[in-house]
Amino acid sequence: FRNLGLPLAKDDIVQLKEAYKWIIHPQLSEELGVPADGKSLFEVSVVFAHPETDKECHFLATACPDCFKPAKNKQSVFTRMAVIKALEKIKEEDFLKHFPCPPSSPEKLCDALEIQCNNGAVFVAGRYNKYSRNLPQTPWIIDGERKLESSVEELISEHLMAEFKADSFNFSSSGREDVDVRTLGNGRPFAIELVNPRRIHFTAEEMKRLQQAINDSSDKIQVRDLQLVTRSAIGRMKEGEEEKTKTYSALIWTDKAIQREDIAFLDDIKELKLEQKTPLRVLHRRPLAVRCRLIHTMRAEYIDEHHFRLHLKTQAGTYIKEFVHGDFGRTKPNIGSLLNRTADILELDVESVDVDWPPTLAD
């Protein structure tokens, strides 16, 4: 090109892997009888070896010794990035001394050592209700010992894993509830990433049947709006974690007797600001911090002299149990301090998680 007086910019040079795709895609297409798509989520990975040319870039180490440094997780120092770095540093005349240009044709064919076929991940979303006060959201394992036999995550994912024939899964949700807390109303949004599924195409009717199978398998949970979603759509579940609201129903006990008028004032409190130190019960997994949270509204329902039910609408991330009993003064104010007596929580239910995702499906 240079002898012909034609300029050849870096962008004009075709990467070897691109040239390889131009050659191999039509061959694969013809052999398998299907179109080849370079942007498909189905990926065929091939590892080639060619002993004859294994050492052809070793001379670069003399040009740039600093480029090739051993690393624990690398089998060879001659990595792609290290070779590119050395090629940028070596002078053209030095390169030509060590390497014929054009290179000589290889005498032996290369070997395909390993061929792997992988499907891109598939994402399934929905909402779940939890009706048990003895079921964690995720497997409860402490010091390698399992505490409870199942979890919300497992009850849902075992059916999806079997139907999608996936290698593994990752479960995520819009917040989480304690093991002894029920989730009622429209349920809590969740998403499951299914890694390398063997089956990826499901009709809406098949998803409905899968949802029914999950619901028939346990009386502890129910799933609704089960659907396939994109990876980017899952971000919507996590957006505004702090901004969204949640409504709860708490059964509260007080040490001193109460009358209806003693709790009536709670109904008038709006936008109550709390300062919550990380609760003692979660300090082993959350950093110590003071979080400011809002109780938007409250409504008290008198039961008897020592019990009432409190309906709350709160900012996401509010620790409700601690707002009731005070957590040894770590949450201020709290129901105990507002009523000027000792209060404790006997039962807690999540009534709604106000996230408009995933889309509601028709029955």
pTM beyond 0.85, yes or no:
no
Residues 12 and 8: their CA atoms lie apart, in Å, by 6
CATH for the stretch 246-353: 3.30.70.3190
78-96 tens-digit pLDDT: 888 889 899 988 888 888 8
Q: Which long-range contacts (CB under 8 A, 24 or more apart) does 197-206 make?
A: 197/119, 197/121, 197/122, 197/164, 197/165, 197/166, 198/119, 198/164, 198/165, 198/166, 199/163, 199/164, 199/165, 200/41, 200/119, 200/122, 200/164, 202/163, 202/228, 204/361
Examine residue 102 and say whether the peptide bond preceding it is cis (omega within 30 degrees of 0).
yes
Backbone angles phi, psi at 140, to 5 degrees: -100, 100
Q: What is the pLDDT of residue 313?
A: 97
Do the domains 246-353 and 122-243 match in fold?
yes
Q: What is the pLDDT of residue 240?
A: 58
Q: Are 237 and 341 in contact (CB under 8 A)?
A: no
pLDDT band at 101 (very low <50, low <70, confident <90, very high): confident
Q: Are 150 and 137 in contact (CB under 8 A)?
A: no
Tell whether the model's pLDDT for residue 241 goes beyond 70: no
Q: What is the pLDDT of residue 134?
A: 96
Residues 118-145 have a mean pLDDT of: 94
CATH for the stretch 122-243: 3.30.70.2510
- The catalytic site residues sit at 178
Least confident of 147-151, 214-218, 234-238: 234-238
DSSP string, 206-254: HHHHHHHHHHHH-SSEEEEEEEEE-HHHHHHHHTTTTT-EEEEEEEEEE
pLDDT band at 330 (very low <50, low <70, confident <90, very high): very high
Q: Are 135 and 220 in contact (CB under 8 A)?
A: yes
Q: What is the pLDDT of residue 242?
A: 62
Comparing 142 with 158, the larger pLDDT belongs to 158
230 CB contacts (<8 Å, ≥6 apart)?
123
Q: Give the residue among 126, 131, 351, 352 at the shortest CA–CA distance from 223.
A: 126
pLDDT band at 77 (very low <50, low <70, confident <90, very high): confident
pLDDT band at 68 (very low <50, low <70, confident <90, very high): confident
Comparing 296 with 42, the larger pLDDT belongs to 296
Tell whether the model's pLDDT for residue 41 goes beyond 70: yes
- The DSSP output letter for 54 is T
Residues 99-123 have a mean pLDDT of: 91
Q: What is the pLDDT of residue 119?
A: 95
Q: Are 119 and 197 in contact (CB under 8 A)?
A: yes
Residues 31 and 115: their CA atoms lie apart, in Å, by 16
270-306 tens-digit pLDDT: 999 999 999 999 998 899 999 999 999 999 999 999 9
Structural domain boundaries of the chain? 13-118, 122-243, 246-353
| Dihedral over alpha carbons 91, 94, 95, 97 (to 10 degrees) | 160
At 11, is the secondary structure helix, strand, or coil?
helix
